[in-house]
Amino acid sequence: MPRNGEAEEAIIAPLLEVTASTVRDHYHERQHQVLAHKVWIESKKLWHIVGPAIFSRICSFSMFAITQAFAGHLGDLELAAISISTTVVVGFNYGLLLGMASALETLCGQAFGAKKYYMLGVYMQRSWIVLFICCALLLPLYFSASPILKLIGQPSDVAELSGVVSMCMIPIHFCFALQFPMQRFLQSQLKTGVIAWVSLGALVIHVLLNWLFVYRLQVGLLGTAIILNISWWVSAIGHLGYVVFGGCPLTWSGFSIEAFSGLWEFLKLSAASGVMLCLENWYYRILVVMTGNLSYAEIALDALAICMTINAWQIMIPLAFFAATGVRVANELGAGNGRQAKFATLVSVTTSIIIGLFFWLLVMVFSNQLALIFSSSEPVLQQVDKLSLLLAFTILLNSIQPILSGVAVGCGWQSYVAYINLGCYYLIGVPLGYFMGWIFNLGVMGIWAGMIGGSAIQTLILIIITMRCNWEKEAEKASMQLLK
């Protein structure tokens, strides 16, 4: 017979094991609850920026898309001309100025996190100075658009009409220099609602003007370009009025002479930001230019322009995550919270991938119906259907890459990422697209597939860099930067 001690042990041991298992289960359950709560809190912070940012970016881009849609129903040549002028000429400057303004996402975001509110207004004024000088230097591009487009192989009739349209786009060129810094300034202090409301107002005005002057009064292609300028300036003036007339009492105290100090350091960060983002922005615009050199270029250009417009429409969502991630990372680093900056990155990337999968499926199923918005030409619709697979995978890839670029902006890594973009996009992607398009005779599908390869490599490198980041060290660097 077992001794009394052994009998007690035989009884107590299973009870202890059950108790320990219950404690472990309770601990793991508690950990899951804590993690779920942290994800919920971070998601609310993220969507406070992402929601209005998605809406405002879709509204802003929709003005370009609506202009293309009205031009597309005027004729294939008109669609090609407005697509080339907005995608190549205006798009070239849009990418550079938007990139340069993103320096404010680093500086204003970290300053707001560190509660140095006065510096946000100073940083925005420095950005205005730098961007308006840049606009003046880029102005000759608009006057010489036609010969440049002919030089790079665009059809003569498309190049001539695109050049005329580009001249009409000069006012919007200077509008970018005023508006982009204000949007980053407001975004960094979480005043995203005003950006959304102003963008909605500008979009409503844009639709009404197009319906009245293009559809009813039939002013033609140049009328669509002029209306686009008016709508963008309505948006810029709306933002300016909010900032100047009391919307930002903590961060705007009027124009300051301090804006003219420290311009060289600001210019270097703006230039690095501009190079980093415009290399991304120009990448798929080069695809449009390369397609213009193919046989049957007009149909190929129209189909590709439709795909790029759909892609650009959808990428407003990842770009909103790009902006939100940059703000969240910069705010947390400025406040000295490296671990929270890392957590914000994980939540943002995961959420964006889920949304990207949804749009990937949507494009795969409804590619023909989406193309009907822009054209009723049967050859164009057939070509769009062939390109839909590449469009879907471009959208999926774009659900990751911009968010990682947002991390780079929040941390101030723009100069490093600029080199990565240069190598992956222009030393790998463009040559690969050329070989697949012309050497292997795959046409526009080959060009696009090759360029997707460059994007995939760039995304992989950014994933590795982000995973190896020392977040506490980045928080220390942000604190040191703000002390300068």
Q: How many CB atoms lie within 10 A of CB 357?
A: 13
Report residue 8 as tokens: 């007690």
**Predicted pLDDT of residue 10:** 57
Segment 348-385, tens digit of pLDDT:
999 999 999 999 998 888 877 777 777 777 777 788 88
Distance of alpha carbon 112 from alpha carbon 120, whole angstroms = 7
The answer to whether residue 94 scores a pLDDT higher than 90 is no
| Close Cβ partners of 143 (under 8 Å, ≥ 6 residues apart) | 167
- Residues contacting 342, CB < 8 A, separation 6+: 469, 471
Q: How confident is the model at residue 199 (pLDDT cuts 50, 70, 90)?
A: very high
Q: Evaluate if residue 475 carries a pLDDT over 70.
A: yes
Residue 1 confidence (pLDDT) = 46
Within 10 Å of residue 367's Cβ, how many Cβ atoms?
A: 21
Alpha helices in 292-337 (DSSP H): 297-314, 316-334
What is the average pLDDT value for the chain, to the nearest integer?
A: 83
- How many whole angstroms separate alpha carbon 157 and alpha carbon 431? 28
Q: In whole angstroms, what separates CA 22 from the centre of its chain?
A: 48
Look up residue 300 and give its two tokens. 């190929």
Q: What is the mean pLDDT of residues 8-37?
A: 60
One-letter amino acid at 108 equals C
Residue 402 has pLDDT above 60, yes or no: yes
Query: The tokens of 274 are what?
Result: 């501009």
Residue 279, pLDDT score: 79
pLDDT band, very low/low/confident/very high, at 56 (cuts 50, 70, 90): confident
Kindly tell me the number of DSSP H helices and DSSP E strands found in the chain.
Answer: 21, 0
The amino acid occupying position 481 is: Q
**pLDDT per residue as tens digits for the range 114-161:** 888 888 999 999 999 999 999 999 888 888 888 888 887 777 888 888
**Using 50, 70 and 90 to split pLDDT, how confident is the model at 292?**
low
Residue, of 238 and 110, whose pLDDT is higher: 238
Concatenate the DSSP letters of all residues of 20-87 into one string: HHHHHHHHHHHHHHHHHHHHHHHHHHHHHHHHHHHHHHHHHHHHHHHHHHHHHTT-HHHHHHHHHIII
Predicted pLDDT of residue 233: 94
The pLDDT value recorded for residue 301 is 73
Residue 451: which of 226, 235, 290 has the closest Cα?
Answer: 290
Longest distance between any two alpha carbons in the chain, whole Å: 106
Dihedral angle computed from the Cα positions of residues 195, 196, 200 and 206, in that order, rounded to the nearest 10 degrees: 50
User: Which range has the top average pLDDT, 22-26, 278-282, 391-395?
Assistant: 391-395
Task: Please report which residue ranges of 73-212 form alpha helices under DSSP H.
Answer: 76-84, 91-101, 103-113, 118-138, 140-143, 145-151, 156-168, 170-188, 192-210
| CB burial string 252-282: b at 16+ within 10 A, e below | beeeeeebeeeeeebbebbbbbbbbbbbbbb
Q: What is the pLDDT of residue 366?
A: 82
pTM of the model: 0.78
